Amino acid sequence: MKINADAEYKNKKVVITGGLGFIGSNLARKLVSLGAKVTIIDSLIPEYGGNLYNVSDIKDKVNINISDVRDEFSMHYLIKGQDYLFNLAGQTSHMDSMSDPYTDLDINAKAQLSILESCRKWNKDIKIIFASTRQIYGKPDYLPVDEKHPLRPVDVNGINKVSGENYHILYNNVYDIRACALRLTNTYGPGMRIKDARQTFLGIWIKLLCEGKNFEVWGGKQLRDFNYVSDTVDAFLLAAKDENANGKIFNLGSSEIINLQELANMMVEANGCGNFLLKDFPAERKKIDIGDYYSDYQLIANTLGWQPKTNLLDGLKASINYYKKNIKHYY
């Protein structure tokens, strides 16, 4: 039976790690609108994307706790009594993971194990949805990439994300702590980090477009798929409420496949003006580029009934318009 996720969150206690970040804040806003009692946990470490402005419209309707998920004592306290944990806290920069691998290990692997141990000791009835990434597949052997594809991460971030994901599935299977993982593709929309490319290259493209400056497209022929943030939020809500998701890993993705040069042209169209420069990959980025990638998301479609709803051009227009109005809060 299809789950009506929207109808089932009223008065539920929900905790979101990384809740001041891009996806976490959009998820918090949706949950508030559904009547959930939302607690946000975020460290506000400058490099990781947390931004209080992301929840400025709901700040009086959520409980915000500035805390680090690596602090096991805080996590013990914050997880008690919660119905759902949306676990989005993480270090997302692939380049940062290569220059500072130990911090990435600490946040994306060790801290995930600590969170799960807190759940095992203090709240075994909680349901956990873990934000994983398509980056863990590495360079695809075939397209579209399904969940059976070998995992060959090309950077430290990907290796640690594999560990975090596996910890969640292990605790589901061994300790009956209901958990699943969503392998996100390129998520974009209002609230994403735009002052640099730590979170997504689309962010820096939007920043430069809004400033009337040229943006750079590296390579240009690589194929990608994208999800607007509201569609990604819908996937999290469906996975949390549906018991068929327990112990499973799902790709997100889109049927709109586009190369980066075509995407740049669409960005200019969405903005109404702008220019970009085609350039070769910088040597340090070329080594960890995965080439073409797009997902087969039929497993989540068939299991949970999820489908992306927002077409790419409409999503880009909405994103650009948001930053034209609010860009001063994202520098």
For residue 111, is it within any domain?
yes
Supply the range of the domain harboring residue 244: 8-191+226-254
For residue 3, is it within any domain?
no
For residue 297, is it within any domain?
no
For residue 276, is it within any domain?
no
State the Cα–Cα distance between residues 84 and 75, nearest whole angstrom. Answer: 14
For residue 296, is it within any domain?
no
pLDDT on residue 1: 44
**Ramachandran angles phi, psi of 26, nearest 5°:** -65, -35
Six-digit token string for 113: 């194990």
- How does pLDDT run across 270-290, given as a tens digit for each residue? 999 999 999 987 766 666 677
Threshold 0.85, pTM exceeds = yes
- How does pLDDT run across 18-75, given as a tens digit for each residue? 999 999 999 999 999 999 999 999 998 877 779 999 999 999 999 999 998 888 888 8
Name the domain count of the chain.
1
For residue 127, is it within any domain?
yes
For residue 311, is it within any domain?
no
pLDDT on residue 238: 98
pLDDT on residue 141: 97
Q: What is the CATH number of the domain that holds 247?
A: 3.40.50.720
State the Cα–Cα distance between residues 31 and 33, nearest whole angstrom. Answer: 5
Question: Which regions of the chain are under pLDDT 70?
Answer: 1-6, 198-199, 283-288
State the Cα–Cα distance between residues 287 and 283, nearest whole angstrom. Answer: 7
